[in-house]
Amino acid sequence: MSLLRGHFSMMLIVDAPTDQAAAQLETDLVQATEALGLVVTVRSIEDVHGSAEPGTPWMISVYGADQPGIVYRVTDLLARNNVNIVDVTTHVTEGDEAVYTMLIEASVPKDTDETLLSRSLANLAEELGVACTARPVDGTVL
Amino acid sequence: MAVRPVVRLPDLAIKKPSLPVGPLSGRHVALAADLVDTMRASPACVGLAAPQIGRHLRAFALDVSNHPKTSNHHGEFVMFDPVVVLADGEDLVREGCMSVPDFTGDVARPDHVVVEGLGLDGKQLRIETAGFEARALLHEIDHLDGLLFLDRVASPSDVFKRRVYR
């Protein structure tokens, strides 16, 4: 669930008993939420299994002056490096000097040149005029 | 000695690493006074690093004595060119920062430290501490390396936007 500048969005993964039930669900939801003026879509998805090879968990913090393109440029760089985004949270403050914060939990493939990845992120951050810290985090589960 | 404006995000000057001070001179004494005055100007502020007032020198002021979470403490002090010589243990605590006014974050840090540097008298100052004062010390030393608590959180769910109640 997310609330960004007064706009709300929510994404759910549900188990519907049949494909027909899924189609009916969209119709029912659209009808039920008409008064709220929401956009509602329901799509069936493939049951996706996680990648066979677990990567190294990294934490990536990006923050600075709010501007268009931060999410796109950073996630595009990560995608091109086969880095899987496990979780992402963004915040933006209000006012003339809005601060944008993007926090990414990533899974970096084991064969990645980590120095090169760090440098690419640093260069991108400089180009965008934002701060970026990217580091492996301890994935130990107790 | 004066209350100086505090550098805050989105101004990225706060990310620039600070330079060693070396032997102290009159201007470092003046810097110390500015750090203490600026720290005192905000009741919730328990520490302030030089880069937070736009001076990229390795210096900070600290005073956790009035904070409810404080156990042991060393009162008010200013330290130059700090070096962490020992850090062990760990605790996870929610931190705030004058330079990141809209957010707080849960940060894991060592909870017992020994830090050495120069005191205001120009002599070696050695502080061994634990708990909240240890955390505050490490938070300020991070500032000298251009690091904010946002760079230290371990997961996206560890950052919280402050609610402003109108």
CB contact under 8 A, B147 and A133: yes
Per CB-CB distance under 8 Å, the chain A contacts of B161 are: 91, 93
The shortest CB-CB distance from B156 to any of A87, A97, A100 is to: A87
Tokens of A30: 């659209």
**Is the per-residue pLDDT at A132 higher than 90?**
yes
- Residue B12's Cα: distance from chain center in Å? 17
SS (H, E, C) A36-49: HCCCCCCCCCCCCC
- pLDDT-derived band of residue B156, with 50, 70 and 90 as boundaries? very high
Going by their DSSP bridges, the two strands A56-65 and A130-136 should be labelled as antiparallel
Q: Which of A36-40, B10-14, B21-25, B124-128 has the lowest mean pLDDT?
A: A36-40
**CA A43 – CA A23 distance, rounded (Å):** 8
Per CB-CB distance under 8 Å, the chain A contacts of B105 are: none
Tokens of A59: 């934490």
Tell me what pLDDT residue A61 has: 97
**CA A36 – CA B113 distance, rounded (Å):** 55
Nearest CA in chain B to A138: B154
| CB-based contact B81:B105 (threshold 8 Å) | no
**CA B127 – CA B82 distance, rounded (Å):** 10
Residue A14: count other Cβ atoms within 10 Å of its Cβ: 8
* Complex ipTM value: 0.90
As a whole number, mean pLDDT of residues A39-52 equals: 75
Q: Which residue in the list B76, B95, B116, B140 is annotated as catalytic? A: B140
Interface with chain B: mutation pick from A89, A100, A121, highest number of B CBs within 10 Å: A89
Model confidence pLDDT, tens digit, residues B90-113: 999 999 999 999 999 999 999 999
| CB-based contact A98:A66 (threshold 8 Å) | yes
Interface with chain A: mutation pick from B6, B9, B162, highest number of A CBs within 10 Å: B9
Tell me what pLDDT residue B164 has: 67
CA distance B77 to chain A (A): 30
| A98 close to B (CB below 8 A) | yes
Do you know the residue count of chain A? 142
Model confidence pLDDT, tens digit, residues A46-66: 766 655 578 999 999 999 999
As a whole number, mean pLDDT of residues A79-107 equals: 93
Nearest CA in chain B to A94: B102
